[in-house]
Structure 1
Amino acid sequence: MLKVLTELAQHVGTGLQRTPKTLSSMYFYDDAGSRLFQQIMALPEYYPTRTEFAIFREHGAAIAAALAPAAGGEFALVELGAGDGAKTKLLLRELLRAGTAFTYAPVDISAGAMTGLVAALQQELPDLQVAPVVADYATALSQLRTWPGSKAVLFLGSNIGNFGPAERLDFLRKLAAPLAPADRLLIGFDLQKDPRRIRAAYDDAQGVTAAFNLNLLTRLNRELGADFDLAHWQHYTDYNPLTGAVRSYLVSARSQQVHFAALDETFDFAAWEVIHTENSFKFTLPQIHELAAEAGLRVVHSFTDAATDFADVVLAIHQE
């Protein structure tokens, strides 16, 4: 825990000195944040989760066939950021139904989340071979090179949209680096659509998304001894249909100072100054093909819902 707190303190100390001030969305997910995000996924405005579920329900068998190696042999299904594995269980059942010999390797930085997932899988899918990996993405990716046999790497839930353009390209290149020609990636992309629907998904009428964003300040108060007064902070989200970027902010509603005991430092906030907390980019199908090519990948299959709101895209390394 000390290491996590130290990393959080260093991140905050750096991020709040930038212009504009920034904090990473990776720190949203303490216990309270995780519970709030579960509520967000059930909101009527938040379409991405149920839409990706619909894709897996309708195209699960075809997705499983696109990921499994044609030649058979050892096969690992590696999922980055596995969480509760709810959507992935649909795919696991399809692979088991098809008689595919494989090992499921969920990757998550949370040991608690991993314990819960493994226990649920043992109960629901007792025939499944599970090799859990408690690590961050960078560590997991470095280990992929040493894995025997073929592999398919899952990165679901439109998490790719949380990266800015340069970070996104770098991340995809790192994903591609340990892959052999027979290996596959499956990445979820939220597609561009009615701008009003997109914005509503990140600023719901019940205020759950606002509570999720503001919970970051509660976490900083608790873990770093900060003295944010949440009564003087607001959640704000905007969507730019030209760039496909949803950006979320915490807005200081008055001129104020916030002291961090863990940093022994005080930060000044002007009235209506923002802290940028999250990006969520939306894509077009041509953009996905262009991005794949830049990263040394090619699109093998694209699976979308009936309304083309979301795409689960199977990728492979580009061969000359």
Structure 2
Amino acid sequence: MATTSVMHTVLVPVKQDQQEIFLQDVIRGLSAKNKYLDSKYFYDAEGDRLFQEIMRCHEYYPTNCEMEILQEQSAAISQTILSYTNRFDVVELGAGDATKSIHLLRELLNTGKDFTYYPVDISGNVITQLEQSLPSQLPALKVHGLHGEYFDMLQEANVLSDKNKVVLCMGGNIGNFTPVEARKFARQLRNYLQPGDLVMIGFDLKKHPQIILDAYNDSAGITKDFNLNLLKRINRELGGNFDITKFDHYPTYDPGTGACKSYLVSLEEQDVTVGGQTFHFGLHEYIYMEISQKYDLEATEQLAVQSGFETVANFFDNRKWFADNMWLCV
């Protein structure tokens, strides 16, 4: 992203602060009794590229399931929205390339309603691309990108417009939290909304355990590379000396709890240095990398009620592997 020389001098300390936070988070995780790394650091440029590859893997079903819902049911979703509010704006948390939400935006435009689309993303590059590409695809759409953290930008959207908010929280991103964390997130989300606002939130549903496990352990090994890439990023940005050949990727899925977790396992006893600190790994010691929580419909209903929402509609793909639930703020 191009900046003026004045802006550049302002941004340099921010970049350093972010790198320092990254280092502190890594040191905190590797110092823990049960080592872990924060999954939000997966997404550097290479991590983004690898995740795009994962989404194209035949084993990775969530993207296609939700795309089917938006392609085939946007008219029904639009009708549901209009049955609760005629004066609204659309806020999408983690908008990405908007390839799914564009189907709903087109349908809402066809109703003749006057609304603004506020895509929110932590990546400024993503927001810039959306502001450039969407007007050519949907000329009638008013777009106002918001670059920053979800809740900060949701508050900004509230300042910019007093209309009801239709918040899109798709992609099954709620699954990146444990159930306890998901409840905390949903309650926080509710705190930034008003009665009558709507949230469409995506949930990856429980299904045959092997289908789920395969999605996070693809035959081409791309998910393994995606996890190992975080070690490469630590080496490159924080001066780490991880030898990635000495770690293996190990995914697990517990159908009872719905928790799908990924680990990196040390293949030998070894020492790794990051930021001038040395961390010892025992043989077969693991690093906990991420969770992808799966839900049944009853659990999604409970989460809504516990967080100050009422479920007013559920939209499924034809196999009922994924659900986009419409929640009303009460």
With the shorter chain as reference, the TM-score category is: over 0.9
- Select which of 299, 319, 324 maps to 1:312: 324
- Which letter does structure 2 place at the counterpart of 1:135? G
Which residue number in structure 1 is paired with residue 139 of structure 2? 126
The number of residues matched between the two structures is 315
Distance 1:219 1:107, change over 3 A: same
Contact kept, 8 Å, 1:69 with 1:183, in 2: the verdict is no
| Unaligned stretches of 5+ residues in structure 1 | none
Give the alignment of 1:11-26 within 5 angstroms. Answer: 11-26=25-40
Q: Structure 1, residues 38-68: CA drift from partner, whole Å, max 9, x if none?
A: 1111110000000000111121111122234
Give the alignment of 1:105-124 within 5 angstroms. Answer: 105-124=118-137
- Which letter does structure 1 place at the counterpart of 2:55? M
Deviates more, 1:110-119 or 1:45-54: 110-119
Contact kept, 8 Å, 2:66 with 2:171, in 1: the verdict is yes
Contact kept, 8 Å, 2:55 with 2:63, in 1: the verdict is yes
Between the aligned partners of 2:85 and 2:327, the Cα distance in structure 1 is: 18
- Select which of 182, 194, 214 maps to 2:196: 182
Could you tell me how far 1:126 is from its partner in structure 2? 1.9
TM-score (norm 2): 0.93
Distance 1:236 1:71, change over 3 A: closer
- Select which of 114, 120, 139 maps to 1:101: 114
Between the aligned partners of 1:301 and 1:72, the Cα distance in structure 2 is: 17
Between the aligned partners of 1:105 and 1:68, the Cα distance in structure 2 is: 18
Which residue number in structure 2 is paired with residue 278 of structure 1? 290
Between the aligned partners of 1:142 and 1:94, the Cα distance in structure 2 is: 26
Contact kept, 8 Å, 2:71 with 2:103, in 1: the verdict is yes
Q: Structure 1, residues 7-61: CA drift from partner, whole Å, max 9, x if none?
A: 1111111111112111111110000000111111111000000000011112111
SS of 2:100's equivalent? helix
- Select which of 150, 175, 187 maps to 1:137: 150
Q: Structure 1, residues 247-306: CA drift from partner, whole Å, max 9, x if none?
A: 00111111111111xx22111111111111100010000111111111111101000112
Query: Is 1:194–2:211 an aligned residue pair?
Result: no
Contact kept, 8 Å, 2:118 with 2:157, in 1: the verdict is no
Which residue number in structure 2 is paired with residue 90 of structure 1? 103
Q: Structure 1, residues 94-137: CA drift from partner, whole Å, max 9, x if none?
A: 11112121100000011112111221112211221001000012
Between the aligned partners of 1:15 and 1:209, the Cα distance in structure 2 is: 21
Between the aligned partners of 2:156 and 2:34, the Cα distance in structure 1 is: 36
Could you tell me how far 1:144 is from its partner in structure 2? 4.7
Between the aligned partners of 1:71 and 1:287, the Cα distance in structure 2 is: 27
Deviates more, 1:196-205 or 1:137-146: 137-146
Deviates more, 1:197-206 or 1:3-12: 3-12
Higher helix share: 2
Between the aligned partners of 2:170 and 2:281, the Cα distance in structure 1 is: 36
| Unaligned stretches of 5+ residues in structure 2 | 1-14
Between the aligned partners of 1:275 and 1:141, the Cα distance in structure 2 is: 33
Query: Is 1:214–2:233 an aligned residue pair?
Result: no
Contact kept, 8 Å, 2:85 with 2:164, in 1: the verdict is no
- Which letter does structure 1 place at the counterpart of 2:105? L
- Which letter does structure 2 place at the counterpart of 1:34? D
Between the aligned partners of 2:172 and 2:46, the Cα distance in structure 1 is: 22
Q: Structure 1, residues 204-250: CA drift from partner, whole Å, max 9, x if none?
A: 00001111111001110111000001111111100000000000011
- Which letter does structure 2 place at the counterpart of 1:126? P
SS of 2:50's equivalent? helix
Could you tell me how far 1:70 is from its partner in structure 2? 4.5
Which residue number in structure 2 is paired with residue 266 of structure 1? 278
Distance 1:207 1:190, change over 3 A: same
Between the aligned partners of 1:165 and 1:69, the Cα distance in structure 2 is: 30
**Runs of 4+ deviating beyond 6 Å:** none
Between the aligned partners of 1:81 and 1:104, the Cα distance in structure 2 is: 13
Between the aligned partners of 1:211 and 1:91, the Cα distance in structure 2 is: 33
The Cα RMSD (Å) is: 1.3
Which residue number in structure 2 is paired with residue 34 of structure 1? 48
Distance 1:229 1:204, change over 3 A: same
Between the aligned partners of 1:161 and 1:4, the Cα distance in structure 2 is: 25
Between the aligned partners of 1:2 and 1:197, the Cα distance in structure 2 is: 42
- Select which of 18, 28, 49 maps to 1:4: 18
